[in-house]
Amino acid sequence: MARQSPQRPDADEPELDDTDAAAAADEVEEDRPPADRALWEDVRIDPVEIALPSGTGFTLRAYRQARELTPTDVAERDQDDPFLARRQVVETEDDEEVVILDEEFAALSAEEDDEDEEKDAKARRKDKAGASDDEKAETETEDDAEDEDEDEDDEAGDEEVPVFLTHKGRLLLFKTPESLVTFIRSGAPNDLSQLDSWNELSERLEPADIAPLDEDTYELDLVVENLRGGHDAWDHELLIEAGEIARDLAYALRLPAVLDMLSSGSSLDDLDEALRASVNGGVGGFLGRRRLKKIGAQTASLGWRTIVGKISAVVDWRD
């Protein structure tokens, strides 16, 4: 059987070259109305798209004052790790976190706290009975210090912090807008449901609304490969945005190891600062580019591989 030749376009219809086709596509894009942002502005929540080595998914993120939020519960997540399952975190008087690995040590620490409380009670009784002026002045100084600590706690509570669509220490990522909307409408438990605007979002949300802005789209799957390419190949915007989402996720998902790796003074934080300085131009940009050349590409890529791996490990993919 003879093969039929492909149909030729009608003579009356002019063929479009690549330039004309691109222009036509741009016209269609311009005619398309932008996604309605009114809903997201009303509920103060945003759709986010995150690309990881295992795939790309949609989720939600909001920023609220720390005092308004209950952190995600990581107890069930950490049961899979025998080290984390035995870990107990206590706070010292200096608000420093101490990791206690032994129950007997924890009990001893509790006894020491009881002794300290008893000493404080005796000191207060002595003051009431008539302490010296010097002792009273010292007590007043300690009281002032306690008041300052309380003020610092209040300021920490007023700080805006990120919260994601998470549940029991895992980030919920959805491969399609439809599956994300179905989950939200289902009333399934999640950490964003504590927000006062959650019910409104559940009632009004449609799949077409799941259209993240460019600044809410992150490509963590490209970071390691980009860093391996060497200083001249580094995509500054990609790496800066990766740092922003990684810090937000580490805080919301309670990943202290990731927070430490990106904390002030760390090598990856130095990389972030140099990247930001280099895009500003001028003398600061020149100095930033000089700093970047001193940062090892291999060290940076290994660090980010660890970060992406730790984030990927606590993702709950939903179809």
Domain boundary among 145, 160, 175: 160
Query: Does 142 or 3 have the greater pLDDT score?
Result: 142
68 shares a domain with 92: no
Any idea which of 121-125, 172-176, 228-232 has the lowest mean pLDDT?
121-125
pLDDT at 40 over 80: yes
- 81 lies in some domain: no
306 shares a domain with 261: yes
Q: What's the rounded Cα separation, in Å, for the pair 248 and 163?
A: 8
Between vectors from CA 22 to CA 16 and to CA 24, what angle results, nearest 5°? 75
156 shares a domain with 51: no
Q: What's the rounded Cα separation, in Å, for the pair 253 and 247?
A: 10
Q: What's the rounded Cα separation, in Å, for the pair 215 and 245?
A: 10
199 shares a domain with 154: no
Helices (H), the chain: 18-31, 38-43, 75-78, 82-85, 103-130, 133-158, 177-186, 198-204, 223-228, 236-252, 256-261, 267-278, 282-293, 297-312
For 50-98, the pLDDT digits (tens) are 999 999 999 999 999 999 999 999 999 987 654 454 444 444 444 444 4
Domain residues for the domain of 109 are 88-160
Q: What's the rounded Cα separation, in Å, for the pair 314 and 172?
A: 9
225 shares a domain with 99: no
**Structural domain tally of the chain?**
2
Q: Which two tokens stand for residue 216?
A: 């809410």
- 286 lies in some domain: yes
124 shares a domain with 156: yes
> Side-chain half-sphere of 116: how many Cα atoms within 13 Å?
8
- 147 lies in some domain: yes
Domain boundary among 137, 160, 183: 160
Domain boundary among 160, 193, 218: 160
For 105-144, the pLDDT digits (tens) are 344 344 444 554 665 566 566 555 555 555 555 555 555 5
> Side-chain half-sphere of 27: how many Cα atoms within 13 Å?
6
290 shares a domain with 196: yes
119 shares a domain with 201: no
- 143 lies in some domain: yes
N residues, the chain:
319
- 12 lies in some domain: no
pTM given for the model: 0.68
Between vectors from CA 202 to CA 172 and to CA 66, what angle results, nearest 5°? 60
- 26 lies in some domain: no
Q: How far is CA 16 from the centre of its chain?
A: 46
Q: How far is CA 142 from the centre of its chain?
A: 37
64 shares a domain with 92: no
- 3 lies in some domain: no
Query: Does 281 or 172 have the greater pLDDT score?
Result: 172
Q: Which residues contact 301 (CB under 8 A, 6 or more apart)?
A: 224, 227, 228
137, burial (CB in 10 Å: exposed 0-12, middle 13-18, buried 19+): exposed
288 shares a domain with 215: yes
222 shares a domain with 178: yes
pLDDT at 274 over 70: yes
- 121 lies in some domain: yes
Average pLDDT over residues 271-279: 89
120 shares a domain with 42: no
